[in-house]
Structure 1
Amino acid sequence: MTAAQEDSVGATPLIELRNITKVYGEGGLAFQALKGVDLRIEQGDFVAIMGPSGSGKSTAMNTLGCLDRPTTGEYLFKGAHVETLTRDERALLRRRFFGFVFQGFHLLPRTTALENVELPLLYRGEPTAKRHAAARKALAAVGLTGWEHHTPSELSGGQQQRVAIARAIVTEPVVLLADEPTGNLDSQRSGEIMELLWRLNAELGITVLMVTHEPDMAAYARRIVRFVDGLLDSDHANPAPVMLAREALAAAPFGEAL
């Protein structure tokens, strides 16, 4: 448990889902994607969300990210009821508190890394100098100092995902939602991206919610929840996140871990 999580015990959680359902369609064609989900997310959590295709994990992620409204139930963010908000109010909440990373990098092909990262700030109407400074800071945070003026075609897949992550954190979000962030990457680049997500969580305190179907990637998270048939099937702490295990091994006296 992180220091942020310890401080929050007994307090209002960052996010709380109460008996959330989601139904698509009507009548005989209706499909219930979520069937009464209760989930609590504390500030500073790093949660891997897993489950087979059709389990409801993507619907849960869309709900958590305020991209979709539940059919019934309550969604509280910092104690405020999100399910009652209008579409525009949810959009404002997303812009202020959430960052998104997807399996596809979704970068504009003929614009530079710096310009891609600036986009959320452009939509906010921030002045040019402030946008440039914030975008450079975000690119530095993901290890891309010196690559600001390269276009996506001049970057590797791992670098493109780093640009996408920089774009997600340039607004200094409270929550980073990552949907299969390593799905298009090889194992080495996947590990690099997971280490980056860990650092953003551990060093900047960003709450990370990540959908993945890969156990190796989920092993980086502090907590793993699993959906099955629209229900939360399990929710448990990860006793040995990959990065903590590596740090412990590096700190151990020579030969002690053998």
Structure 2
Amino acid sequence: MSEPGAIVERPNPLIRLRGITRVYGEGTAAFQALRGVNLDIAHGEFVAVMGPSGSGKSTAMNIIGCLDRPSDGQFWFRGVHVESLNRDERARLRRRYFGFVFQGFNLLARTSAQENVELPLLYRGESAARRRELAAQALAAVGLTGWEHHTPAELSGGQQQRVAIARAIVTEPEVLLADEPTGNLDTARSREIMDLLWRLNAERGITVLMVTHEPDMAAYAQRIVRFVDGVVATDEPNPHPARPTEPEKA
């Protein structure tokens, strides 16, 4: 078992964090969310990140996804020092390589599933025809062909999260960051979403980092990293990852 703060080295990692700290506020009001995080993620891994509330797991994910900056330490992505990039450079990196899935779906309420999925492509400047084509492919990949013109209010929670995943993968990201992706779903819908994430990792080679409080969901990952008090407390392989339930044969 790894010791708290120990470095589990991986050769040529896609993501490498060394001594990452994050402090919010100043003086007596300062709060240290991360206290020297060391973490390697290899290309194509499925990693579950666990820990109690306030342990720093979501802060670490936000830094990896270029949504936040570390106060100190070094962060490499594909060999590039991300902490040295300016705001525009980090935004370009985020748009090119990362997809995001959140607990709350974050869909535009009065916009169809297809239009929600097209949104990242709009920011990229893709043509309308190309946006429609890629969005349709992404929705098909998550099993929502035929639901393109439905609004979120016309979809179940599981379907809304599938739309959110389609939006995350429509740009063909290298890394999918999922923060409590099953937190608002019942058990059956949660398993459907985990089956989908598993297939995106296994069949498309997308690196998946997932924050979760649920051991049953973490069981799908190849590694389980646990945060405590702003550091990596344990980083262990999962010897028997869960697999999707195969459909019954007729």
Q: Deviations over 1:181-208 (max 9, x none)?
A: 0000000000000000000000000000
Asked whether the equivalents of residues 10 and 42 of structure 2 are also in contact (C-alpha less than 8 Å), the reply is: no
Asked whether the equivalents of residues 176 and 207 of structure 2 are also in contact (C-alpha less than 8 Å), the reply is: yes
Partner of 1:46: 46
Partner of 2:100: 100
Q: Deviations over 1:42-95 (max 9, x none)?
A: 000100000001111111111111111101100000000000111111111100
SS in 2 for 1:83: helix
| TM-aligned CA deviation for residue 27 of structure 1 | 1.2
Between the aligned partners of 1:188 and 1:14, the Cα distance in structure 2 is: 33
Q: Which amino acid aligns with 2:111?
A: T
Between the aligned partners of 2:32 and 2:11, the Cα distance in structure 1 is: 32
Between the aligned partners of 1:122 and 1:211, the Cα distance in structure 2 is: 28
Partner of 2:120: 120
Partner of 1:6: none
Partner of 1:167: 167
CA RMSD of aligned residues (A): 1.4
Q: Which amino acid aligns with 1:53?
A: S
| TM-aligned CA deviation for residue 10 of structure 1 | 6.6
Partner of 2:78: 78
Partner of 1:195: 195
Between the aligned partners of 2:169 and 2:114, the Cα distance in structure 1 is: 13
| TM-aligned CA deviation for residue 117 of structure 1 | 0.3
2:229 is equivalent to residue 206 of structure 1: no
Structure 1 stretches of 4+ with a deviation exceeding 6 A read none
SS in 1 for 2:17: strand
Between the aligned partners of 1:116 and 1:125, the Cα distance in structure 2 is: 15
Between the aligned partners of 1:11 and 1:58, the Cα distance in structure 2 is: 25
Q: Which amino acid aligns with 1:232?
A: V
Q: Deviations over 1:127-171 (max 9, x none)?
A: 011101100000000000111111111110000000000000000
Within 5 A, what are the aligned runs for 1:213-232? Answer: 213-232=213-232
Between the aligned partners of 1:169 and 1:18, the Cα distance in structure 2 is: 28
Partner of 1:140: 140
Q: Which amino acid aligns with 2:82?
A: V
Matched pairs, number: 239
Between the aligned partners of 2:76 and 2:151, the Cα distance in structure 1 is: 39
Compute the TM-score of the two structures, normalised by the length of structure 2. 0.93
Q: Which runs of 5+ in 1 are unaligned?
A: 1-8, 251-258
Partner of 2:184: 184
Between the aligned partners of 1:39 and 1:231, the Cα distance in structure 2 is: 10
2:15 is equivalent to residue 18 of structure 1: no
2:32 is equivalent to residue 32 of structure 1: yes
Between the aligned partners of 1:76 and 1:204, the Cα distance in structure 2 is: 23
Partner of 2:6: none
| TM-aligned CA deviation for residue 11 of structure 1 | 4.2
Q: Which amino acid aligns with 1:60?
A: A
| TM-aligned CA deviation for residue 32 of structure 1 | 0.8
Between the aligned partners of 1:85 and 1:98, the Cα distance in structure 2 is: 16
